[in-house]
A = this chain, B = another copy of it.
Amino acid sequence: MYKIINDPIYGFVSIGSEFILELVNHPIFLRLTRIRQMGCSSVVYPGAQHTRFSHALGAMHLMKSAIESLTRKGTKVSEEEKEAAMIAILLHDIGHGPFSHALEKILLNVHHEDLSLFLMHQLNAEMDGKLNMAIKMFTGEYPRQFFHQMVSSQLDMDRLDYLQRDCFFSGVIEGSVGASRIIKMLDVHQDEIVILEKGIYSIDRFLNARRMMYWQVYLHRTGLAAELMLQSLIKRAKYLLEKGHPLECDPDLRFFLEHSISKENFESDPKILDHYLQLDDFNIWTAIKAWRNSGDRVLEVLVDGILNRKIFECELSSEEINVQKIKSVNKSLREKNFSEEEIAYLSMHGKVTNAAYTSDKQNIKVKMKDGGILDISNASDLSNIEALTKIVTKFYLCQPKVVS
C-alpha cells in the first residue's frame, strides 16, 4: 500500500521491496499496529504509546543502514541476503501478544520468540519458502554469523531501535543512543560484527543509555506496579472463570483465559492460532472496563487501580524484602476482610533483574586502528564496561495504597 513511511525518529522509512511490502500488509503483521511496545509504561510516561509495528519497521530501517555501512567498508552482501536480513528483523517480534512483555507467560505459557518463529514458519508456508533465508538468519543457522548478530546480540538492530524509540516517546532523554553513529562504526571481521575503535565512545554512551532506560523506565517502580497489577488481574480473571464466576469477555480472549496453552498445544491445534491472531491490547482493555462491576472485590480493586490510575505502592530494594514487612501488609489486608486466597492477588513480592537488557550474549568486539580485535572491556581504559553490563537484581513489595 505504501512504499515510504514517515517515522518521527528516522524521518522516512523505505519499504525495501515488493515482497517486504506484502509482509508489512499481511494481517499477521498488521496486528502489531494494535500492540503497544511498552506495555504498562504509559502509566508513568504518557507519551509511550508507540506500537510494535513502528518498532519493527524502525529496526528494519536500521538493518538496511547497517548493511549499507558494512558494504561501504568492503563486506559483500547479496541483494537476497540484504532482503532476508531486513525480513528477519522485521518479523523478530511478530509473536508478541497483548501488552508485550507485561503479559508474556501469563495469558499463555509460550515465550514470544517461540511464537515469532512459529508465525514466521506460518508465513513461510503461505509464501512458498520465500522466508527460508530470513528464518535461518533469525535462528542463527545461516553461516555468515554477522547477520544473526545484527538480529540478536548485544548490539543488534532490535535494541538499537527500541532504546532509541522508547527514549524518544517516553521523553527520557537520558536514554538517547545515537544509533546512526554506531551503525556507521560497524564492520565485519571473520564473519562477526565488530565496532571500529573510533566508535568506542558511542558504545559507551549506548551502554549508559541502556542502563538509564532500565532504571528510569523499564523497571520504574510505578510502571512495575502497574504491570504486576495487570498480571494479577488476568490471573484473577482466569481463576474466577475456572470457579464458574461469569465475566463479560470476547470469545478470543475468553479462550486463553479458560485454557492453559503450551507451545505444544499451539503446534498441534490450528484453532489456537486463529484465536491468538485476534488478540491485541484492545481485547484486554475492553475486558478490563467490562469487569469494573464484576462482583468480585479483588478484581474490582485491580480494575479500578488500572483504569483510574490508583497504582499500588511499590517498594524496590537491593535486599530481600523482610518477611515481617510482607506479613504486616497481609495482616492489613486481612483486616480489610480479604481472605488469604484473595490477598495473593493484592500483595505481591518477588524480584526483577535487568538481565533481559544485558543478557549473557558475548561481549562487543572492537577492531583497533592497528587491526587487532579486542573485547570492549579491554579496548579502552576509559570505559567502565563491567559496571555498565552487570546484572542487577532488585526485590519488590507491591500492595494497594490503602494498606500502607
Contacts and interface: CB of A to CB of B under 8 A. Distances in A.
Contacts of A130: none
Given A282-B282, A282-B285, A382-B215, A174 B202 contact: yes
A195 to B, nearest CB: 14
A147 B387 CA distance: 35
Interface stretch (A41-49, A75-83, A236-244, A328-336): A41-49
B8 A250 contact: no
Interface stretch (A307-315, A338-346, A355-363, A370-378): A307-315
A57 interface: yes
- Looking at chain A, what size class is its interface with the partner chain? 35 or more
A204 B45 CA distance: 20
Given A6-B45, A7-B171, 13 more contacts: A1-B309, A12-B181, A12-B184, A25-B309, A34-B285, A36-B49, A47-B50, A49-B50, A49-B51, A174-B204, A278-B289, A282-B282, A283-B289
B212 A204 contact: yes
22 contacts: A1-B309, A1-B311, A4-B184, A4-B198, A5-B46, A6-B170, A8-B168, A11-B173, A11-B181, A30-B307, A33-B46, A34-B285, A46-B53, A46-B57, A173-B178, A176-B176, A250-B289, A282-B286, A283-B286, A283-B289, A286-B286, A384-B384
A54 interface: yes
A205 interface: yes
B33 A42 contact: yes
A128 interface: no
A381 interface: yes
A127 interface: no
A190 interface: no
A402 to B, nearest CB: 14
A307 B25 CA distance: 10
Given A286-B286, A307-B27, A181 B173 contact: yes
A318 B382 CA distance: 10
Given A54-B47, A201-B216, A307-B27, A174 B184 contact: no
A169 interface: yes
A307 B174 CA distance: 36
